[in-house]
Homo-oligomer: A and B are copies of this chain.
Amino acid sequence: MTTSRPARVFPVPPEPADVPAPLPEPDAADLRLETVLGALSDPLRLRVVRKLLLESEAFDHPCGWFGLDRPKSSLTHHFKALREAGVTRQRQYGLERRSQVRVADLEARFPGLLALVADWTPPSG
């Protein structure tokens, strides 16, 4: 039995010309639910993905854009974990890595998951 539920659509900014190639990441067909859920089971990572979903102003964003008060090495680790799980795509622009959410791949494989992230509220305090 099924009922109907609205599906959120997240706008994806257009890809500029000449963007660098993505850093290594799993193919869409190789995304694993347990791995994606593990990558999202952290408030900082949920905050990153939610901000990209709801507030993206460009095709992809460097870690400074997120305004996260954490050491650079910690942020590098979290952004890499999101990419290696297949949640985000990262590209290297000179010394800077920028991230975007793999909206189409995740919606195709795990429909509705990104809506849960978008609706997440950070823990209080």
Interface residues of A (CB under 8 A from B): 1-9, 32-35, 37-38, 40-43, 46, 110-113, 115-117, 120, 123
Contact = CB atoms under 8 A, between A and B. Distances in A.
B5 A7 contact: yes
Given A4-B7, A116-B110, A43 B34 contact: yes
A35 B40 CA distance: 10
Residues of A contacting B: mostly: mixed
A5 B4 CA distance: 6
Contacts of A40: 33-34, 37
A41 B35 contact: yes
A6 B9 contact: no
Nearest to A39: B41
